[in-house]
Chains A and B, each alone.
Chain A
């Protein structure tokens, strides 16, 4: 089987993607940054507006993919 932890590392380098793979660690780090920002704004979790903004970003990325 060619799929391995090593090949997951490979995809990151080969595809020149965002410098980090989809690991729970990197995602938690990103979430941590988000929650820290929210705390600094006096909030404890994402608002509906935050989440809708996230979704909008996903669709923008998907549009770019569809155009490729």
Chain B
């Protein structure tokens, strides 16, 4: 069980990592960046799915519920990022620009705020994990 808890704590880090864009290559177009974020988060969701279906998770019902809630919020945020980024073309000098086929304008600052929502949900999950001594030395 201890190893499983360590794995869960690591999983939270993976989710957090997937929601970061600061370490992405700087020469990507917004759409390429969105695709890269998708690929990262797709891997995370597969890990979350494996975690919540693990029989050991039945011993941690509150953690299981929190993990599902958090991944749901993060999925919505990442999905919004991916679609909105697809509406953007590269911004020049930080200006907001809109692609010809855009369904709505895209503001890169707004994209960052979307991911902040996901990270806030992660903070809440981290607190719940801490209550179960997950992510702390035992």
Contacts and interface: CB of A to CB of B under 8 A. Distances in A.
Chain B, interface size category, equals 35 or more
Interface in B1-28: 3-4, 6-11, 13-14, 17-18, 23-25
Contacts of A65: 45, 48-49, 52, 68, 71-72
B108 to A, nearest CB: 16
Contacts of A57: 42
A64 interface: yes
B34 A51 contact: yes
Interface of B: 3-4, 6-11, 13-14, 17-18, 23-25, 29, 31-32, 34-36, 38-54, 68, 71-72, 75, 78-79, 82-83, 85-87, 101, 103, 135-138
A31 B36 contact: yes
Given A11-B14, A22-B14, A27-B36, A61 B49 contact: yes
Contact of B11 (A2, A11, A31, A59): A11
Classify the interface of chain A: helix, strand, loop or mixed.
helix
B7 A11 contact: yes
Count class of interface residues, chain A? 35 or more
Contacts of A28: 25, 36
A59 B73 CA distance: 11
24 contacts: A2-B136, A2-B138, A3-B6, A7-B10, A11-B10, A17-B50, A18-B46, A26-B39, A30-B36, A31-B36, A31-B39, A35-B35, A45-B29, A45-B32, A46-B31, A46-B32, A46-B34, A48-B83, A51-B31, A54-B34, A54-B42, A57-B42, A58-B45, A65-B52
Given A3-B13, A24-B23, A51-B31, A59 B49 contact: no
A67 B87 CA distance: 32
